[in-house]
A and B are shown apart, each in its own frame.
Chain A
């Protein structure tokens, strides 16, 4: 595929609850986010500023609507909560369902670090959470 933008709803989160690469799709996602930052080591002195890159910090966030009794191949908020409470090592991938040439695919292992659910009176139940990778995840570009 030629030059293209990332369409809404195409970048999905997949999780393997066993830590491998047999991924289930996280449903019903409304957003997925990536956050990378490098903390700054400030060694400034009277001789002048001296800043250098420190530790790389990577985390991922997601939001969605609860889907109860999801079909095989899907995982939703309730299962994610079990995985978080058991501190399970998960395999994860953030990518389009069917990547086109040039699409970003990121995957690795990690653990769920936060999960919140909201069951409001006048709207559908939602969840939001985040997970941290073990080590530095792999980024590939589809070809």
Chain B
């Protein structure tokens, strides 16, 4: 059975990178200066194969982090998340094209979306939106 993690991460990376947002896989580097940046991480898969096909159900976490000195609110963060949601799932039937990797995404939904306020760290006030996307994938 083919591994889907790299293909999924790459597909999400390309969509978000296309919005000219700083995007990292796994975790951000120490010296990030951008006030809003994205981290794609934590692909979880469960095999859902049939007798004749290899399939998985996968989730991918897309974290959008924002910081401001002293005070921060969610306005810019929410605008950025809106752009990401539009790009990844423009309508109720949207899926990402994984055909380049020999995969077919069958369904795509936002499994959860939560706002996390981390408070002040080193003079910066951090707020993040943690999106988890769920998808069924047919391994062609």
List A contacts of B136 (CB < 8 A).
8
A7 to B91 alpha-carbon distance, docked (Å): 14
List A contacts of B107 (CB < 8 A).
7-9
A51 on the interface (CB 8 Å rule)?
no
> Which residue of the partner chain A has the closest CB to B104?
A4
Q: B92, B93, B138: which contacts A4 (Cβ < 8 A)?
A: B138
A8 to B93 alpha-carbon distance, docked (Å): 8
List B contacts of A9 (CB < 8 A).
92-93, 107
**Would you call A3 and B95 a contact (CB within 8 A)?**
no
List A contacts of B106 (CB < 8 A).
5-8
**Would you call A5 and B93 a contact (CB within 8 A)?**
no
Q: How far is the CB of A11 from chain B (nearest CB, A)?
A: 10
> How would residues 84 to 126 of chain B score, 1 for a CB under 8 Å from any chain A CB and 0 otherwise?
0000000011010001000011110000000000000000000
A4 to B102 alpha-carbon distance, docked (Å): 10
B53 on the interface (CB 8 Å rule)?
yes
B15 on the interface (CB 8 Å rule)?
no
List A contacts of B93 (CB < 8 A).
7, 9-10, 97
A9 to B138 alpha-carbon distance, docked (Å): 16
B140 on the interface (CB 8 Å rule)?
yes
A47 on the interface (CB 8 Å rule)?
no
A46 on the interface (CB 8 Å rule)?
no
A10 to B93 alpha-carbon distance, docked (Å): 7
> Which residue of the partner chain B has the closest CB to A5?
B138
> Which residue of the partner chain B has the closest CB to A96?
B93
A71 on the interface (CB 8 Å rule)?
no
> Which residue of the partner chain A has the closest CB to B93?
A9
A7 to B106 alpha-carbon distance, docked (Å): 4
**Would you call A5 and B92 a contact (CB within 8 A)?**
no
A1 to B99 alpha-carbon distance, docked (Å): 9
> Which residue of the partner chain A has the closest CB to B92?
A9
**Would you call A5 and B53 a contact (CB within 8 A)?**
yes
A120 on the interface (CB 8 Å rule)?
no
**Would you call B140 and A4 a contact (CB within 8 A)?**
yes
A3 to B107 alpha-carbon distance, docked (Å): 17
> How would residues 69 to 81 of chain B score, 1 for a CB under 8 Å from any chain A CB and 0 otherwise?
0000000000000
A119 to B75 alpha-carbon distance, docked (Å): 36
Q: List 9 A-B contacts (CB under 8 A).
A: A2-B99, A2-B140, A4-B140, A5-B104, A5-B138, A7-B95, A7-B107, A10-B93, A97-B93
A interface residue numbers (CB < 8 A to B)? 1-10, 97
Given contacts A4-B140, A5-B104, 5 further A-B contacts (CB under 8 A): A1-B99, A2-B99, A4-B104, A6-B106, A97-B93
